[in-house]
Structures are given as structure tokens and as C-alpha cells.
Amino acid sequence: MARAPFELAGVRVAPGARAQIDVPVAKLYTHAPLHIPVEVIHGRQSGPVLLVCGAIHGDEINGVEIVRRLLRSSAVRGLRGTLIAVPIVNVFGFVQHSRYLPDRRDLNRCFPGSEAGSLGSRVAALFREQIVDLATHIIDLHTGAIHRTNLPQIRAQLAPGGETEAMAMAFGVPVILNAELREGSLRHYAQGNGVPVLTYEAGEALRFDEWAIAPGVRGVRRVMRSIGMLSSDRRRATPPAAEVANGSSWARAPIDGILRPKVRLGARVGKGELLGVVADPFGNVEGEVLANADGIVIGMSNLPLANEGEALFHVARFDAIEEAESAIETFQSDYESLPEGLNLK
Ligand SMILES: [Zn+2]
């Protein structure tokens, strides 16, 4: 029996075809209609339905470029199953260079949403009904918030031996955070429905970080191979090592002032180690930012201006810290040939 077409927002995509679909999401109060842009690649053979989406936070644009490269790559042409690629979910925020929706809501706290709710709630409900609920697997692409950067990392709720864990390991970035699910997030909603979902966090908002984009594209393709959407390539059968963190915490500014960081992203630090110094502009008063645990710096502020208590360095803890350190060294050497490489440690 011939494989059925794939239907999204009333558009039918035949097996072996691809289509760009503008899903109507709302009208601006100027009367201009607004759409979520979607590309569907419907394979000739049956398989998983993978949703890859970016910019749920409108200013997190590395994921937009990851989706573009994925769609242009020859690998996806002969895929099994169906790829739903959504480069920009929060179209409002993307236009405004903002994480949020115009009503200042965080779309990633609005799921499952409601058709009768506020703007955020309606956009979440529409995205969920028209797109998310079609997926059997999800990869949600994020970056650090504005002025914050993240070491490429996967966040997922891991159950040993589960499909989410297999996807997380397959992605092949050095750090996996077994992160708790936040109420209202896409991840919370999907995982609650038994759909395995990864969040890829890498780089900084409003930037194109090549060291975050290139491994993101490779990671999505590796996951597609691991769930049977792409043929396995023997040479690349084993993904690079990844280490699961057993927790993380932020080291915060001890006083108001100007930060001079002493470590870089990816650095291994010991408990009590100096991460940075915060000082007033004259240097009269200085406060030390110290690591509160042994671990790896997986996120940090790129803005040297800090108020007391502000989160500056995100340190992940590991049972196997040596393995985590060597996974990061391998990652670093894999990408050091990039024109703008990840300058770790
Ligand atoms: Zn985000």
C-alpha cells in the first residue's frame, strides 16, 4: 500500500516531496497576517516524525541557522519518516530581537496553551495543535539568554535506557544536563505525552556562533541516524563522547560592579577557585566570584556589568569530571579549525 501523504495545517505533502508551509498564527494589530514558517520533508519510506524547531525564544538565532543548514544538506533528501523543520517559532520576538512575545510572555512557559487565552497562550496552542502534536521526536534549539553564552550542551530528562537518553548521547556534544522540566515549556509538554525531546543549548542570543551552529547541525543529523531516519555511516557510527552532569549551579556577583572574568567557557574549575573579580569603576572595592563546587563552566555572562547577586558563571558538576574534561578537549579539537573557533580555557 502506498504511503499516505503528510498533512500539516491543511497542506498535504506527498511521499518523496517537500513543501514550505506558512502556518497562520495571528494578525498584528495593523491587520498584517503573521505566519510560522515550516518546511516539511516527507520521506518515501515510513519512519519517525521529527520536529526540529528554533527561536521559541525570539532572540535565540543560532537555531535558525542550524535549521537552514539542515534543510540545505544533501543528507536529508533521502530520509525515512518525516522532518518538520521550523526555523522560527516565536515570529513576533524574532522580528523584535526579543526573547518574549509582545505581551512580554515567555512562549516557552505557555504550553500547552489555550485558544481562548492571551497571545502567548494562543500561539502555544496553535503551534502545539498544528505542528508539535504531529511529532514523534523533538529537538528544540536554544542559546543562552541575552549577554549569556552556553557551552554546547543537551538538556533532557533522562531515564536510563530510554529513547531520550539514546538521542542525547547520539547528538554528540560534550555535556548533557539531566535538567528538570519547567512547567509550561515545550519540553515539559512533549515529555509528558511520552514524546522524547532534546533541548540543544549553545552560544549566545542575537549572535551566530559558528562553534554552536556547526555541532548543532551535525548533532541533529546524528540523532536522525540514531532513530533510523538516515542511513548509518560506518565511519561515523560512534558519536563523540558526552558526559552527563549530576547537577549545576550559578556563581553570582558578590557586589555591584564590573566583572573581569578569569576563566573561559569549558574550563574545569575546583571548588573555591577564582572565576572572576567584580570591582567598582575605581577599583576601590573588589569582590571575588568563587566556584561553589568542582565542575566545568558550561555557561557565563558576556556582559561585564553586574549587580550583586547576578548569575555570572554556570558550573556543572560531574561524577566523572576527568571524562567530562576530555570530552570537552575532543570537542575543542574537532572544531578548532573553524574560522571563529571556540576559544576554550
Ligand atoms: Zn531559550
User: Residues with beta carbon < 5 A to ion ligand 1?
Assistant: 57, 60, 142
Distance between CA 313 and CA 253 in Å, rounded? 9
Q: What is the mean pLDDT of residues 43-53?
A: 98
CA–centroid distance, residue 143 to ligand 1 (Å)? 6
Q: 42 pLDDT exceeds 60? A: yes
Distance 141 CA to ligand 1 centre (A): 8
> Cα of 23 to ligand 1 centre, how many Å?
22
Q: How far is the CA of 24 from the centre of ligand 1 (A)?
A: 23
Q: Please give the distance, rounded to the nearest whole angstrom, from the Cα atom of residue 63 to the centre of ligand 1.
A: 10
**Cα 334 to ligand 1 centroid, rounded to whole Å:** 25
Is pTM beyond 0.85? Reply is yes
What are the DSSP calls for 57-75, one per residue? STT--HHHHHHHHHHHSGG
CA–centroid distance, 54 to ligand 1, in Å, is 9
Distance 201 CA to ligand 1 centre (A): 7
Asked if 61 contacts 208 with a C-beta cutoff of 8 angstroms, the reply is yes
pLDDT at 161: 85
pLDDT, tens only, 174-219: 999 998 888 999 999 999 999 999 999 999 999 999 999 999 999 9
Q: How far is the CA of 104 from the centre of ligand 1 (A)?
A: 15
Q: What percent of the chain has pLDDT over 90?
A: 86
Question: What is the model's pLDDT at position 234?
Answer: 64
Closest by CA position to 221, among listed 210, 212, 211, 232: 232
Q: What would the pLDDT profile of 294-334 be if each residue is shown by its tens digit?
A: 999 999 999 999 999 999 999 999 999 999 999 999 999 98
By 3-state DSSP, what share of the chain in percent is helix, strand and coil, each rounded to 5? Answer: 25, 30, 40
For the stretch 117-125, contacts whose Cβ atoms lie closer than 8 Å and that sit 24 or more positions apart, written own/partner, are 119/26, 119/92, 122/26, 123/25, 123/26, 123/90, 123/92
**CA 226 to ligand 1 centroid distance, Å:** 25
pLDDT at 236: 63
Q: In this predicted model, which residue has the larger pLDDT, 251 or 26?
A: 251
The predicted pLDDT at position 342 comes to 60
In the predicted model, is pLDDT for residue 345 greater than 50? no
**Distance from residue 245's CA to the centre of ligand 1 (Å):** 20
pLDDT at position 343, please? 59
**Distance from Cα 139 to the centre of ligand 1, integer Å:** 13
- Taking the centre of ligand 1 as the mean of its atom positions, its distance from the CA of residue 240, in whole angstroms, is 24
CA of 238 to the centre of ligand 1 (A): 28
* 142 CA to centre of ligand 1 in angstroms: 4
CA separation, residue 166 to residues 23, 77, 157, 243 (Å)? 31, 24, 11, 13
How far away, in angstroms, is 189 Cα from ligand 1 center? 16
When pLDDT is cut at 50, 70 and 90, the band that residue 159 belongs to is confident
Read off the pLDDT band of 341 (50, 70, 90).
Answer: low
pLDDT band at 248 (very low <50, low <70, confident <90, very high): very high
Q: Is residue 78 classed as helix, strand or coil in its secondary structure?
A: helix
Q: Which residues contact 199 (CB under 8 A, 6 or more apart)?
A: 140, 141, 142, 154, 155, 156, 179, 187
CB 129 within 8 A of CB 8: no
Residue 239, classed as helix, strand or coil, is: coil
CA of 332 to the centre of ligand 1 (A): 23
Q: How far is the CA of 111 from the centre of ligand 1 (A)?
A: 14
